[in-house]
Each structure stands twice: as C-alpha cells, then as structure tokens.
Amino acid sequence: MIYGNKIRLRAIERDDLDAFVRWFNDPEIRRYLFMYRPLSKAAEERWFGELSRRDPDEIPMAIETLDGVLIGNTAFNDIDWRNRSAEFGIVIGEKEYWNRGYGTDATLTMLRHGFGTLNMHRIFLQTLEYNHRAIRCYEKCGFRHEGTLRKAIYRDGEYHDLLMMSILRDEWDATWGGEKGDAQA
C-alpha cells in the first residue's frame, strides 16, 4: 500500500466493483468525469478482468481512508517512459468525503509516487471547466494551467471548455519536496 496522511492507495479488488458501478451511475458524479453513459456491472467486470494486461504502473488503485472505507480510485494513464510523462486521473465517489481534503491528500500521494517512485518529469491532467472543486485541489497541489481546449466537451446540452493542467518535477520539488508534502511511505 501507499500511504498518505488521510488515505491509503491499494490494489483494486473484485469486491470494489459494486461501489464503482454505483458511483459511475450517479449523474452528479458522472457529470465531472469523461463518462457520459451509465455503466453496467458486466462492463465493469470485463474492465477488471483486463487489468492484468495493462502496464502495472497504469493499473488504477483504490483510495480508502486510513480506517478502510473505500472512497474513490486513481491512476496514471498513457505513461510515456521515454519523456517521463503521465496523465493523472482521480475520482472521489463517496460524496460525503467531498470537500474534506481526501482528494487533495490522494492527489499529493499520487504525485509523490509519480515523481519519487516512477521518476516522472511531467504529470498532466484534463478537467472540465466547471469542475471548480477539482481545479482548486489541483492548483493547491501545484498543477498549473497550460491550455484550454475550447468547447471540446459536449455535456448537458452544451459545449464546455476542457482545461489542461500539469506539474513538472522541479515545481514539485520546490513546493513539496521537503517535509511539507511528504506523505508517509
């Protein structure tokens, strides 16, 4: 497991799939994701069955509280080993854990893992312009806006901008490299 201050990251288990299906079928949660269709349990079972064929460093991890409550998942995708770059993704699916610092701690823990363990140079993400809670979290963790894909996502009957954000290794080291950002290993 990988420990943060409020969360730990662990391997996803088959027992987690019911929670994932519940989260991804909740329109309020799905509104902030790039998913737009409801998700079946069969589709999630197929996804779980295919995880072993992925790059081990791209297999999503479950986010749970230190007392063992599953609250979300996170992953690095599209890792470019030559250029030391990866795309970051996260969802906190248990809404009672929103706005309580769990997403920030999970993001910082993943960044520490990405820069410290995987030796990434650049970690980037995409988020919808109206996902203000996530944008605040990403900015607090050191991500910087690097661009906007104008009206790139169609959601709820209108087009929305897609924001591109990233953090570089030297920015991470300058802000979080010391005691301040060290989550427990």
How sure is the predictor about 184, in pLDDT bands with cuts at 50, 70 and 90? very low
Q: Read off the pLDDT of residues 114-152 as tens digits, 9 standing for 90 and up.
A: 999 999 999 999 999 999 999 999 999 999 999 999 999
Place of tokens 């996502």: 153
How sure is the predictor about 32, in pLDDT bands with cuts at 50, 70 and 90? very high
CA 179 to chain centre: 23
Average pLDDT value for residue range 25-46: 92
pTM of the shown model? 0.93
Helices (H) and strands (E) in the chain, counts: 6, 8
Q: Which residues lie closer than 8 Å to 41 by C-beta, 6 or more apart?
A: 17, 18, 21
Q: Read off the pLDDT of residues 164-179 as tens digits, 9 standing for 90 and up.
A: 999 999 999 999 875 4
DSSP label at 56? G
- Judged against a pLDDT cut of 50, whether residue 182 lies above it is answered with no
Burial label, 64 (beta-carbon count in 10 A; 0-12, 13-18, 19+): buried
Q: Where are the beta strands (DSSP E) in the chain?
A: 2-3, 7-11, 61-65, 70-80, 85-92, 122-128, 144-155, 158-168
Averaged pLDDT score across all residues of the chain: 93
Beta bridge partners of 18: none
Query: How confident is the model at residue 178, as a pLDDT?
Result: 53
- Alpha-carbon torsion angle 88, 97, 60, 6, nearest 10: 90
